[in-house]
Amino acid sequence: MSKRKAKEAHLPIGECIDQVHLILRKRFCHQQLPDKLEGVEAQHKHLVELLKRTAVHGESNSVLIVGPRGAGKTTLLRSVLRELSEVTEVQKNLLQVHLNGLLQTDDRIALKEITRQLHLENVVGDRVFGSFAENLAFLLDALKKGDRSSSRPVLFVLDEFDLFAHHKNQTLLYNLFDVSQSAQAPVAVVGLTCRLDVLELLEKRVKSRFSHRQIHLLSSLTFPQYVARVQTQLSLPDDFPDGKFVREWNAAVATLCEDKSVEDVLRRHFNSSKDFRSLLMLLMLCLSRVSVAKPVITPADFLDASRSCLADAQANMLHGLSILELCLIIAMKHLNDVYEGEPFNLQMVHNEFKKFLQRKSNSMYNFEQPVIMKAFEHLQQLELIQPADSSSAKTQREYQLMRLMLDHSQIMEALQKYPQCPTDLKQWATSAFA
């Protein structure tokens, strides 16, 4: 089919929407690699150069990529590796070992994983043989035997690098950095971490072997750039089957990004964090509302999505409490006010509650102690109150000291929003001395 004909083809609207979901969901959820990275060109170039030197010239290197969560560390690395894989020499030469601090929780597991990924000769099928010491000796031997000119370079990628620093004696890090220091097989160690103080975690001997090369990925995004990114994230690519639909969709996205209320929403998000992943979450929520009946994203979607993103979860939970539980929380709030945040126990709360009942002289809330205890325990299960000290088994339940995990304004707001809140409760909550 010629290109022109393909452009003319009109798909039914249902299929178009399916395609939109397919493409955008892959982009938002699966973190599909974009064609071009924005804003990190310098870092990208630096890393490419460095890895190329290892892969082509056999130079050993170590580098740390540091940045907050969702700043695009993995994306940067993946795009660099994609670029390198286009160079045939690198593709033939470079061996890659990917480790993750979350998975390889100690050095023994990490070592097995390395052996497995390098397909060394003590691996049969997928199994690795030998004890930890044997494995380590074997691996080091294999790495030491090599030299700059003849052996293939190895790239070690250590995701969640800070977790590797918590291993015993940091054996793995020491050995990797040691190999990269001495003239043995060429290795490049790339660590990805979100901790700025990661070097303080390293032992002295490990630190001295590290090259102290760091690539910082700190977002320097301005708000217009942020909005532009939203637009590129939402736009459809040109190779979409239905040309007309793409044009309409992209035009709709462009007008959407200029909308005043959308801009307000985005600014609020931008001010709370420049983290890109939280933006993707927002967009994902907007996208989920797109259907055949409503084939565009409207500003109202953005408002709804941002409302559910920024909702106070604690307030949501307070909304579902029973009146008795709410009474207890108000009593705790008064105790906190009077005794300046000292921990309290059930007896004191009950006493405070009784004072309220006496003053009101209506018996509507006159519950027995066990019923109140049940409500109190429910609050504890929801972790709205937490024990002040950890010795839970030793004291009787009614005398266990607790702390309230809510602040004043949250309680007052919850009372305002509570459905059919009795007026005397509201008055009790506002009056300073009950």
Partner 1 sequence: MAGLLDQPGYDEESLRRVSEQLPCRELQAGMLLSLMGQPQQYCYPSLFIYGHRSSGKSHVVNVLMKELELPHTTVSCVECISAALLFEQVLLSFFGCDAAAQLPRSPSISDFVRIYRQQSSQFPAKQTRFIVMEKAELLRDADANLLPALLRLQELVDDNVTVVLLSEIVWDKFRPNTGCFEPLLLHFPDYSKGELQQILSKDCHPSYSAEFYSSYINILLGVFYTVCRDLRELRHLAALNFSKFCEPVAAGKAKETETHKLWKNIEPHLKKAMQTVYLREVSSLQWEQMEEHEAGALRGLSAHTHVELPYYSKFLLIAAYLASYNPARTDKRFFLKHHGKIKKTNFLKKNEKTSNHLLGPKPFPLDRLLAIFYSVVDSRVAPTASIFSQISSLVTLQLLTLVSHDDQLDTPKYKCAVSLDFISAISRTVNFDIVKYLYDFL
Identify which range of 81-89, 150-158, 180-188, 320-328 contacts partner 1 by CB under 8 A.
Answer: 320-328
Structure tokens at 7: 């452009």
Say whether residue 194 binds partner 1 (CB under 8 A). Answer: yes
Say whether residue 21 binds partner 1 (CB under 8 A). Answer: yes
* CB 276, CB 221: distance < 8 Å: no
Coil vs helix vs strand at 64: strand
Question: Would you give the DSSP letter of residue 365?
Answer: G
CB of 183 to partner 1, least distance (A): 32
Sign of CA dihedral 227, 229, 231, 233: negative
* CB 405, CB 383: distance < 8 Å: yes
Say whether residue 410 binds partner 1 (CB under 8 A). Answer: no
CB of 424 to partner 1, least distance (A): 13
- Chain residues 68-87 in contact with partner 1, contact rule CB under 8 A: 69, 74
Distance CA 221, CA 369 (A): 57
Identify which range of 57-65, 257-265, 294-302, 307-315 contacts partner 1 by CB under 8 A.
Answer: 307-315
Size of the site for partner 1 (CB under 8 A): 71
CB of 317 to partner 1, least distance (A): 6
Q: Which is nearer to partner 1, 164 or 249 (CB)?
A: 164
Identify which range of 85-93, 140-148, 180-188, 322-330 contacts partner 1 by CB under 8 A.
Answer: 322-330
* CB 373, CB 346: distance < 8 Å: yes
Coil vs helix vs strand at 309: helix
Among 357, 382, 388, 421, binds partner 1 (CB under 8 A): 382
CA proximity to 330, closest of 311, 357, 361: 357
176: amino acid identity, one letter: L
Say whether residue 12 binds partner 1 (CB under 8 A). Answer: no
Among 394, 409, 432, 433, binds partner 1 (CB under 8 A): 394
- Chain residues 203-232 in contact with partner 1, contact rule CB under 8 A: none
Structure tokens at 283: 């967009």
Q: Which is nearer to partner 1, 60 or 314 (CB)?
A: 314
Say whether residue 238 binds partner 1 (CB under 8 A). Answer: no
Among 396, 409, 432, 433, binds partner 1 (CB under 8 A): 396
* CB 332, CB 356: distance < 8 Å: no
CB of 417 to partner 1, least distance (A): 11
CB of 365 to partner 1, least distance (A): 7
Specify the residue for token string 């290197």.
61
Say whether residue 314 binds partner 1 (CB under 8 A). Answer: yes
CB of 52 to partner 1, least distance (A): 26
Identify which range of 39-47, 55-63, 105-113, 245-253 contacts partner 1 by CB under 8 A.
Answer: 105-113
Identify which range of 45-53, 167-175, 253-261, 342-350 contacts partner 1 by CB under 8 A.
Answer: 342-350
b/e map of 372-381 (b: 16 or more CB within 10 Å)? beebbeebbe
* CB 171, CB 107: distance < 8 Å: yes
Among 28, 156, 161, 376, binds partner 1 (CB under 8 A): 28
Give the H/E segment covering residue 214.
strand 214-216
- Chain residues 240-279 in contact with partner 1, contact rule CB under 8 A: 277-278
Among 169, 232, 395, 431, binds partner 1 (CB under 8 A): 395
Distance CA 59, CA 265 (A): 49
| CA quadruple 424, 429, 430, 434: dihedral, nearest 10 | 90
Say whether residue 281 binds partner 1 (CB under 8 A). Answer: yes
Q: Which is nearer to partner 1, 181 or 233 (CB)?
A: 233
Burial class (CB in 10 A: 0-12, 13-18, 19+), 113: middle
Distance CA 369, CA 350 (A): 8
